[in-house]
């Protein structure tokens, strides 16, 4: 897609520090790292949101994600990571090309966990939320 920085990185029109590559994915260092080794895993094709990435790429995605984690782990001497996707603007997605953050964590790095991203507990109880989800699931299966 024109004017997408991650498409340009994927097509090697813009330089980046690429650490892993497969047929459909690329992993490179984030330009503004939140920790040493902070990397981004992207599909080479432009999809804006995570759920647009084709299901048949799941195995390749998992393989390159694992390979990248193990590589960074060895290179930077840590076993701990936060792994995740800012999926959509309310979730903090700035670059509109789906990407998976690989963020290595270190002792006393003063960071938080996934739980520190947001605290917006539901007003309804869990069973109400559960019923809403299962209703949609059952409707989509019938
Ligand atoms: P988001 O908030 O969309 O999940 O994060 C986008 C990430 O892309 C940010 O962490 C940002 O530093 C990174 N980023 C944005 N532009 C570039 C770029 O041109 N090169 C690289 N390597 N990373 C980028
Ligand atoms: Zn793109």
Question: Mean pLDDT across the chain, nearest whole number?
Answer: 97
pLDDT surpassing 90 at residue 121: yes
Does pLDDT of 2 surpass 90? no
Domain membership of residue 121 (yes or no) is: no
Q: Is the dihedral of CA 84, 87, 57, 138 positive or negative?
A: positive
CATH code of 18's domain: 3.30.428.10
The 10s digit of each residue's pLDDT in 122-132 is 999 999 999 99
In the chain, the percentage of residues whose pLDDT exceeds 90 is 97
Rounded to the nearest whole angstrom, what is the distance from the C-alpha of residue 9 to the centroid of ligand 2? 9
Whether the CB of 5 sits within 6 Å of ligand 1? yes
Q: Is the CB of 18 under 6 A from ligand 1?
A: no
| Tokens coding 122 | 């539901």
Q: What is the largest CA-CA distance in the chain?
A: 51
Ligand nearest to the CA of 4: 2
Mutate to test the pocket of ligand 1, among 3, 4, 5, 10 (most ligand atoms within 8 A of CB): 5
* Residue 142 pLDDT > 90: no
In this prediction, residue 15 carries a pLDDT of: 98
Residue 130 lies in a domain: no
Number of domains in the chain: 1
Residue 133 lies in a domain: no
Residue 38: inside a domain: yes
Using CA atoms of 58, 60, 64, 70 in order, give the dihedral in degrees to the nearest 10: 80
Of the candidates 84, 138, 71, 87, which has an alpha carbon nearest to the alpha carbon of residue 114?
A: 84
Of all ligands present, the nearest one to the C-alpha of 9 is: 1
Flag whether 120 is in a domain. no
């Amino acid at each position: 897609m024109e004017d997408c920085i991650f498409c340009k990185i994927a097509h090697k029109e813009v330089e980046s520090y690429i650490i892993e590559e497969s047929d459909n994915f690329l992993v490179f260092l984030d330009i503004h790292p939140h920790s040493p080794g902070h990397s981004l895993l992207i599909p080479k094709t432009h999809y804006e949101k995570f759920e647009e990435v084709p299901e048949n790429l799941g195995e390749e995605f998992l393989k390159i994600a694992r390979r990248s984690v193990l590589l960074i782990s060895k290179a930077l001497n840590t076993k701990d990571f936060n792994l995740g996707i800012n999926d959509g603007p309310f979730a903090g997605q700035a670059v509109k090309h789906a990407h998976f953050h690989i963020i290595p964590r270190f002792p006393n790095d003063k960071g938080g966990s996934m739980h520190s991203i947001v605290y917006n507990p539901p007003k309804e109880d869990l069973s109400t939320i559960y019923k809403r989800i299962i209703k949609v699931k059952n409707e989509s299966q019938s």
